[in-house]
Structure 1
Amino acid sequence: MKLLFYDKFFESLIDLPKGIQKKVIDFQRKFRENSKSSAIHLEPIKNFKDSSLRSARVDQTYRAIIKVPEVGETYFLLWVDHHDKAYEWATNKVFQWNENTQSMQVFTSPEIIEKQEEVRPEITIEKRALFSEYTDKDLLRVGVPKVLLPSIRGIETLDGLEHVETFIPQDTFENLFYLADGASVEQLIFEIEEGKTEAVSEEEQLRSINNQRSFIELTDDELFNEILEGNLKKWKYYLHPSQRKLVNGSFTGTVKVSGGAGTGKTVAALHRLKYLSKNRKPAEKILFTTYTKALTENLKNLSNDLEIDLSGIKISNIDALAFDLVKDFVLISNDYKVFGLHHIKNPEEIWEEVLDTELTTFDTDFLSKEYREIVLYHDVKSLEEYLKAPRVGRGKAISRTQRRVVWSLVEKYNRIKGQYHYYHKEELYNLLVNFLKSHDTKVYDFGLVDELQDFSNVELRVVRALVEEKPNDLFLVGDPLQKIYDKRINFSQSGINVRGKRSRRLRINYRTTEEIKKLAISIVNDEHYDNFDGQEEEKAGYVSLFHGNQPQYTVFHSKDQEVQHVISEIEYLLEGKYKPEEIAITSRTKNALKEFRTELHLKNIPYTEYEQGNKVGHQNGVNLLTFHNIKGLEFKQVFLVDVNNRTCPKHFEALDNYSDTEKASYYKNEKSLLYVAVSRAIQRVEITGIGIRSELVRV
């Protein structure tokens, strides 16, 4: 006998009292041991639409809903609730196998959906049906149950589709949403076919990637223990077919995965890490790197949640990784200093020293950017290389004669900088890459990169040099829309080859509500983003599968009013079911959080601040973070504060001196930063400020 658990079953279980939860856990354990036991009280209910559904007794008051097999020995545990509510949930449900998708589907019987359509307001303007351009065969192949075809054919708008969302199978809604949003039906069918198995028997087909999206078999009670502790992590057990194909796949080379905020990119990377750790040879080593220290700590915590054996695995942010290896290989002297990391002169001060003795039309700002964006970015080592180096994004072209002048200044800058033993961190990256290449040294056998959009070619060359090019070598995940640093990625220039089917996009948002997702997308919708392959990243076809309240944006007359409002809202949340660590207050600048910190202190509400990636203060308090620090994290309740026309986008005096190209790039990064902050919210986002509203927030 086999018992498969529907993912929605656990949502019903979470809402039950603790004592009943324990009874349910005992019940499912006994059922797995002996489904025929008379103590189970498995009985048909005559008014159920689906005759294969049964009621089972958890105790005198609570019932579980189970689908029994017509043939074979596979049962499905679907729902658990109070007697009347359990029956109410099951009465009009239909549970059937879809051969086109190789997955079990749960949906509401067609006549109930038709009644829902009848109570909708009449549409006075004649409209074309939403899916009129698709044949019945097309709709069946993307997962529409045959009995629901008439209902789906009657849908006229996207709002109409969302109206019946709770009545149709989840995978069906998802694919219909994609079609309505302009996705290719051929591509959807291709992805569905990829998730199927070649097995003939239905028992074996139940193990298809498509079916594992919603139904899994449990061999122990770990998931139930998480529920009892109030800490369910469904991402550890249930994966969308698009994720599972990436996690368990075998590829000829590097895989690149993009997707909007909350689409499970990091989850896929973590499961891929676990898969690689289990299937590697004993001596093989794995690198998992990201951009910041805070994100690194988050990855370590999530890896522990997934119970990954970290022996032979290095989880580190790219800076720490490169600096450690530079020291290990003794590539520079011990008294080195790095711009931005040590308290030393800044690069512009050294450029001033260069220009003090040189007569030139080039100023400090131009030379500093030219050095960073051309010389370091392309690892230019000679005049000949500089004369050939592309200057994309640097604005006005300069002649070969001017390049010779610039290079003479670069050489002097390098001499002075060398006397101080100063380095740009990009220099250390380039030193490390050149050493690894010249010594044909590979430190790791497999590599994973999270938050790919934060990297540039300089960092990616390090990753490429550390891992040998071979099947399954690199697994790169990121969201182009979250690109908040002015960096460029060109895979071919960094030695990374991603082609065809090894470039994937995730489209299901598991973190935020559809309402929050729409607000986040509206912030960046008028911008164009590269998908890391030289093509534009799509913003459409990206859907959340749950709903909530509309985000709110309130502008107050004074800072005190804003602070009092936010803190009173937090007090209300804390009186209810929320813990302090599930709440975040975030702003564009750290200074804007001072008054909120003071008020939390006066109210004796615990709070946590973030310093250089580390938590400071109460470890389980309300989180105080800047937009930069909240990146990669998530909270049930998020308050964006101090949001107005001067902070979002953030204005400063030097911005007036920027070129049009530089301003456009800056404002684009500011939009992405706000997109990041909004998309950290799981259930609710509230935005507040004083003064004039920000034009970026369209609420």
Structure 2
Amino acid sequence: MFSDVSPDEMSKVMGRSALLFADLDVGQHRNVFVPETIEHVVVVAPHTRGDGRHRAVSELTYRTLFDGGNRLERGAAARIADAVSKRSPDYALLSLDRSASTGPHDAAMIETADIHDQQREHALTRPFPSWMSFLDPAQQALVARNYNGPARIAGPAGTGKTVVALHRMAYRARRTTGKLLFTTFVRNLPRCQQQAFAQLAPEIGDRAEFKSLHSWAGELLGMRGQPDRMDMTAADNAFNRAWSRVGRRGPLPEIESDNRYWREEVDRLIKGRGLTAFEEYARLDRRGRNGTLRRSAREAVWALYEEYEGLRKEAGFLDANDLISAALREVRAEPLGERYDMVVVDEVQDMTVMGLRLAHAIVEDAPNALLLVGDGQQQVYAGGWRLSDAGIPIVGRGAILEVNYRNQDAILELAASLEGKGVVDDLDGEAAITLSRSKTALRGGGVAETWHGDNDEVERQVRLQLDRIKERGIPLSATALITRTNHEADRFRSALRRWKVPFRNLEDYDCTEEEKLKIGTVYRAKGLDFRAILHPFFSKSQPEEEVSDARRDRERLSVNQRFVAITRARDYVWLGVVED
């Protein structure tokens, strides 16, 4: 296709590509092409070196560029090719020879982003990596926007926050020479985003890292010769022992008898915020928690924390907070060996304050270097914060996305009907938009069903739903069963084995397409999307007089978890409420 083009000629042609592609009319519609999806490639004779400025591939192997499949339909690619060749004589080199066409890869030679409604809907029917092929104008404006410090992108579920972040990461990668880090609190999510980024910017290679913040912190400590042994099983045991010794005999059981609530208090509000003295905790605004704790109760919590810390240090292990805190001390004490030009923090609402401080410390306040992406409505862990609590200034450097690209109307309506799901905040404590203002770009309405029944019936209902999903033409590869707890997930895994339904655990899922149902907890479903979702929810009713502030906290998180599960669905969602 390009084998007769010299490197100089190719450079001239490609040098004008972004301008031409950004202002191209195809038929009656204006199409905005996304520069980050265009890769400049020179196809040369075998064993010939390229010009060093563009990716060079052999005539015999250029088709491997398109192993990921076409992003545009064949007819759309042909129309774009015709329009391009008419606009500039230089682009006659790129036009398609239909008589010589041997398959879909020929049409893929000029694939790029097209936001015509037809093409947008086509892209959104495919797995997440295909979303890389387009951005709407409001999203595209954020990709190249210049920020003189840390910035954040917020918005309801499904509005393309992560897609914009990955495009912005590719944009920055091509204008910098340092490393880039995409990180999050969710362990399995970076694998999926790495696959998407590889399609978006394959030439970046090892400069871009995709890993959880705990994984990054552990690697840093290992390289620095510091202890990095995180042992959460030992942490569970130590906390239970601390509770038995000092927690259960004080005022705390009268407030909340479930010690998991107090474990969250220590993890998220004390250690997660880096508090080191009781008076700091005594004055703390317990953001994200209902009610207030009197000083005597806070003294009891602090005693519980100190007992736990004594047991932890005696055993010689780190918990999740210790790993982050140790890495932060290392970054502040000694500069990193390799410079990072950008850090993207996805699902930022579930980070601790110390996690935010670590991400910030990697790049500090350098222009365009730190991007925080998330949605407070999707917080599934206890506690809360403002970005200002972490010392991250973002005033004037934020954006709210409003158009939903994932969920059809019925799914959005069900999600919005959940208690407390009316307003989306901006990640710094201010109301941003109401969920009702979030408009869906998809058409067709979708299906959202709610079932109420007892525990003995729920498995049969899940089996029926799997049959209905299949009847609608939705494959297992695009279906997920999401639970709140690992125990619930184990129960349905056993059922799937009995039914001989193949499945993949969400914890092991890397967005590779395979004909298997995905199953796991809501914590592992964060940031993912599927055409169909099954979410059995086990409800435990409480008499009104017994509802404490602690129980209200748990109910708020429970609503958030249902919201996250429901909004993973594109076309079909089943919410099965199992009542006592």
Task: Give matches, 1:513-532, under 5 Å.
Answer: 513-525=408-420, 530-532=425-427
Q: Deviations over 1:236-257 (max 9, x none)?
A: 3331222112111111111111
CA distance in 2, matches of 1:508, 1:580: 27
Paired residue for 2:213?
318
Letter of the aligned partner of 2:526 in structure 1? K
Q: Deviations over 1:276-314 (max 9, x none)?
A: 11111x2x1211111112211111111122134132222
Aligned length: 485
Paired residue for 1:566?
465
Paired residue for 1:680?
568
Which TM-score applies when normalising by structure 2?
Answer: 0.71
Paired residue for 1:419?
314
Paired residue for 1:89?
none
Range with bigger deviation, 231-240 or 292-301: 231-240
Q: What is the percentage of aligned positions where both structures have the same residue? A: 21
- Structure 1 residues 564, 496: CA separation in 2 closer, same or farther (over 3 Å shift)? closer
1:295 aligned onto 2:189: yes
1:535 aligned onto 2:430: yes
Letter of the aligned partner of 1:548 in structure 2? G
Task: Give matches, 1:48-63, under 5 Å.
Answer: none
* Alignment equivalent of 1:586, drawn from 447, 458, 482: 482
CA distance in 2, matches of 1:522, 1:482: 15
Report the secondary structure of 1:293's partner residue: coil
Over aligned residue pairs, what C-alpha RMSD do you find? 4.4
Letter of the aligned partner of 1:470 in structure 2? A
CA distance in 1, matches of 2:421, 2:132: 35
Report the secondary structure of 1:665's partner residue: helix
- Structure 1 residues 241, 342: CA separation in 2 closer, same or farther (over 3 Å shift)? farther
Q: Deviations over 1:521-558 (max 9, x none)?
A: 11144666643212124224211132324422244673
Report the secondary structure of 2:388's partner residue: coil
Range with bigger deviation, 662-671 or 554-563: 554-563
Whether the 8 Å CA contact 1:300–1:315 is kept in 2: the answer is yes
Paired residue for 2:368?
472
Normalized per residue, the structure richer in helix is: 2
Task: Give matches, 1:115-154, under 5 Å.
Answer: none
Report the secondary structure of 2:172's partner residue: helix
1:348 aligned onto 2:240: yes
* Alignment equivalent of 2:449, drawn from 552, 559, 566: 552
Whether the 8 Å CA contact 2:156–2:424 is kept in 1: the answer is no
Paired residue for 2:146?
250
Give ranges in structure 1 of 5+ residues lacking alignment. Answer: 11-17, 38-57, 60-210, 217-222, 693-699
Paired residue for 1:263?
159
* Alignment equivalent of 1:503, drawn from 394, 398, 421: 398
1:455 aligned onto 2:347: no
CA distance in 2, matches of 1:657, 1:439: 54
Letter of the aligned partner of 2:571 in structure 1? Q
Report the secondary structure of 2:174's partner residue: helix
- Structure 1 residues 285, 657: CA separation in 2 closer, same or farther (over 3 Å shift)? farther
Paired residue for 2:174?
278
CA distance in 1, matches of 2:425, 2:324: 24
Report the secondary structure of 1:423's partner residue: coil
Which TM-score applies when normalising by structure 1?
Answer: 0.60
- Structure 1 residues 414, 456: CA separation in 2 closer, same or farther (over 3 Å shift)? closer
- Structure 1 residues 536, 380: CA separation in 2 closer, same or farther (over 3 Å shift)? same
CA distance in 1, matches of 2:342, 2:354: 19
Q: Deviations over 1:640-667 (max 9, x none)?
A: 3x34xxx1xx4399x9998732222211
Paired residue for 2:134?
238
CA distance in 2, matches of 1:606, 1:253: 47
Give ranges in structure 2 of 5+ residues lacking alignment. Answer: 1-19, 32-69, 90-97, 100-112
Which is greater in Rg? 1
Q: Deviations over 1:112-145 (max 9, x none)?
A: xxxxxxxxxxxxxxxxxxxxxxxxxxxxxxxxxx
Q: Offset of 1:605 from its aligned partner?
A: 4.4
Q: Offset of 1:421 from its aligned partner?
A: 0.8
- Structure 1 residues 512, 288: CA separation in 2 closer, same or farther (over 3 Å shift)? same
- Structure 1 residues 658, 249: CA separation in 2 closer, same or farther (over 3 Å shift)? farther
- Structure 1 residues 432, 652: CA separation in 2 closer, same or farther (over 3 Å shift)? farther
Whether the 8 Å CA contact 2:452–2:576 is kept in 1: the answer is yes
CA distance in 1, matches of 2:440, 2:515: 28
Higher relative contact order (CA 8 A, sep 6+): 2
Report the secondary structure of 2:427's partner residue: coil
Whether the 8 Å CA contact 2:486–2:521 is kept in 1: the answer is yes
Q: Offset of 1:449 from its aligned partner?
A: 0.8
Paired residue for 1:608?
504
Report the secondary structure of 1:266's partner residue: helix
Letter of the aligned partner of 2:218 in structure 1? F
CA distance in 2, matches of 1:276, 1:671: 37
Letter of the aligned partner of 1:651 in structure 2? K
- Structure 1 residues 8, 677: CA separation in 2 closer, same or farther (over 3 Å shift)? farther
Q: Deviations over 1:593-628 (max 9, x none)?
A: 567656655665433233x44579994312233333
Letter of the aligned partner of 2:199 in structure 1? D
CA distance in 2, matches of 1:459, 1:305: 29
Whether the 8 Å CA contact 1:567–1:600 is kept in 2: the answer is no
